[in-house]
Amino acid sequence: MQSVEVAVKEISRVGAWALRGLGIEYGVAQRASLFLAWAEAVEGNTIGQLIDYDLRVKKGGVGKFSFDQRSQDWWQFCSAGRSLLEFGPPVIDMLTYAARTFGCGRFDIFDVFDPVFLTSLCQMAAERGIGLIALSKNKDLSVGGLKTNAIQVRKDRNGAVQFSSVVREIPKALAAGKDWAVEAVSAEGTAISLYAYLLSEDVTSLAKSDFEHALEEKLADAYAHGIVVTKEDKEQLYEFEIRTWAPTSDRSRSQALI
């Protein structure tokens, strides 16, 4: 397979339109494009997920996502075939609300077909000062391209976001006094469970070496030196974008320039 160098910014810019070409609304696509570019830079092979999503949409396998509230800080969420790029940011918003209001929160998400985007969402949470633990029964999560069934993210005193591919520490906020607990694996086989907590308790306790994945450095490197993707993936991304371009005509041409 031929490979080609692309820029991170190229993926976010073209990606925003590509996601619209897949039927995703402007406000959602604009936000999601940043996670797409981030994930492609640090995890790789994410554009294939968009192709998968396109097929799901064409087969009618995508519905409206929904959730049940189990307690004040615990929700169970059915993705209805939607991409994590669509529902992930509002899920992190909910967990941000829970952590900032109650000190912690939990989301069990069912039927996630593209968990490769999870680290980009963890990054978003950590930048807000929210620590996150993600657990899955299956080894379908990834941190910097490494397959795992657990992710923990934190921000250190200098503001650097760090990742671990195992659960290093269960902070006090998650440890007791809840009608739920952090489990060794998610509640159900197909679920990914997300546990959020305010980072203040977590920051000081463990050494940097325990959070061994410096994904921000990988991202910075990708910004500076580009990312290598397959030519097919790059072209597919542009193909999705071009769906949003209107056919031309003399009338259309008269609507540009002079």
> Which residues contribute to the site for another protein (CB under 8 A)?
4-13, 17, 20-21, 25-28, 30-31, 67, 86-87, 89-91, 93-94, 96-97, 100-101, 220, 223-226, 242-248, 251-253, 255-258
Q: Are 252 and 63 in contact (CB under 8 A)?
A: no
Q: Give dist(CA 10, CA 226) in Å, integer.
A: 10
From the CB of 255, what's the least distance to another protein, in Å? 4
- Listed residue (102, 85, 79) closest to 31, CA to CA: 85
Query: Parallel, antiparallel, or unpaired: how do β-strands 130-136 and 3-6 relate?
Result: unpaired
Cross-strand partners of 153? 132, 163
Q: How far is the CB of 210 from another protein (least distance, A)?
A: 28
Q: Please identify, using beta-carbon distances, which residue of 31 and 213 lies nearer to another protein.
A: 31
CB of 241 to another protein, least distance (A): 8
Contact of 79 with 112, CB cutoff 8 Å: yes
**CA gyration radius for the chain?**
19
Helix (H) or strand (E) holding 13: helix 8-21
Q: Closest approach of Cβ 243 to another protein, in Å?
A: 8
Under DSSP, the state recorded for 117 is: G
In the complex, least distance from residue 53 CB atom to another protein, rounded to whole angstroms: 16
Residue placing its CB nearer to another protein in the complex, 48 or 90? 90
Question: 184 vs 224, which CB is nearer to another protein?
Answer: 224
* Tokens matching residue 83: 């991409």
CB closer to another protein, 19 vs 153: 19
CB of 185 to another protein, least distance (A): 25
Measured distance CA(91)–CA(251) in Å, rounded:
44
> Positive or negative CA dihedral for 90, 96, 102, 106?
positive
Nearer to another protein, 71 or 205 (CB): 71
Measured from the CB atom, the residue of 156 and 221 that comes closer to another protein is 221
